[in-house]
Amino acid sequence: MLLQQCIGFINTPPLWVNEQFGLQQFKFPELQLKHFQPEPIPERIRLGHQMEYLCKQLLAYDTQYDVVLHNLPVRAGKQTIGEIDFILREQATHALVHVELTYKFYIIDTNITAPVHQLMGPNRRDMFFTKMEKIKKEQIPLLRSAPAVSALEQMGLSTEQIDHQVCYKAQLFYPYGINKVHIRPLNKDCLVGFWLKFEDFKRKEFSSYSYYIPFKSQWVVAPHENVSWSSHFEILMDINLRMIQERAPMVWMRKANGLYEKLFVVWW
């Protein structure tokens, strides 16, 4: 499972390329995982933290960067005011780079005009624009704060020599029935599936396919055959419970021709 997650992480494109919104996108090394064996990671941690641990292992496996630090808490007195995701050292130049990692699943709400405001979590509580602003105004400036400067100096690192980048990966889901979505300057390669309301998912056109609701740790993984597939009728009962709880599940859909699709069924 961990190897599948690593493959899913690597295969997920960045949400934009080069620099956008005043944020330089980190170019993740191209890796061949033929001999890579992931080490166990802590259990019962949220998906974002799972991605951090796997990202660290992938960067350590690569020869382009050394991981100088990972997940460093920054404390002012007894209070933790934030954490630094990664500081890497490029082996060829010895240059240091501060990388903030984000991995998200966003639906696209085309009722909103600006692409940066269209992206939100499937429960409409996790907004891309809000996260982007937090990175710019809180997470990146944290490195220049007095507590961070002090902590890094104790490790022999000067913040004056550290560049800032983001590794912002995302899987995007367009509204069902809409053939084209315009998300520039965001990366259209991040589009992986669609979303629809529960009432629409009940329609007959979906009744002939098989379905599986992946655990959240499986969200990053491409759909595959080796899971317990259910009929449309069976999955409706499972999804209905999640609708009552106001939780939008990811669903894998298997078609008769052997094709798979990812989708979100939303409750709102």
DSSP for 60-105, please give it. HHSSSEEEEEEEEEEEETTEEEEEEEEEEEETTT--EEEEEEEEEE
Q: What is the pLDDT of residue 161?
A: 87
Q: What is the pLDDT of residue 257?
A: 86
Amino acid, single-letter form, for residue 181 = V
Calpha distance 70→84 (Å, rounded) = 7
Q: What is the pLDDT of residue 179?
A: 80
**CA 66 to chain centroid:** 22
Q: Residues 6 or more apart from 261 whose CB is under 8 A from it?
A: 193, 194, 223, 252, 253, 255
Q: What is the pLDDT of residue 235?
A: 99
Q: What is the pLDDT of residue 180?
A: 87
Q: What is the pLDDT of residue 204?
A: 97
Calpha distance 220→9 (Å, rounded) = 7
pTM for the full model?
0.96
The SS3 assignment for 229 reads coil
Q: In whole angstroms, how far apart are CA 6 and each of 201, 202, 220?
A: 31, 34, 9
Calpha distance 148→84 (Å, rounded) = 9
The SS3 assignment for 236 reads helix
What length does the chain have?
268
Q: What is the pLDDT of residue 102?
A: 98
pLDDT string in tens for the chain (268-residue length):
899 999 999 999 999 999 999 999 999 999 989 899 999 999 889 999 999 999 999 999 999 999 999 999 999 999 999 999 999 999 999 999 999 999 999 999 999 999 999 999 999 999 999 999 999 999 999 999 999 999 999 999 999 889 999 999 999 999 999 988 999 999 999 999 999 999 999 999 999 999 999 999 999 999 999 999 999 999 999 999 999 999 999 999 999 888 999 999 999 9
> How many Å is the maximal CA-CA distance in the chain?
64
Q: What is the pLDDT of residue 43?
A: 81
Calpha distance 38→59 (Å, rounded) = 12
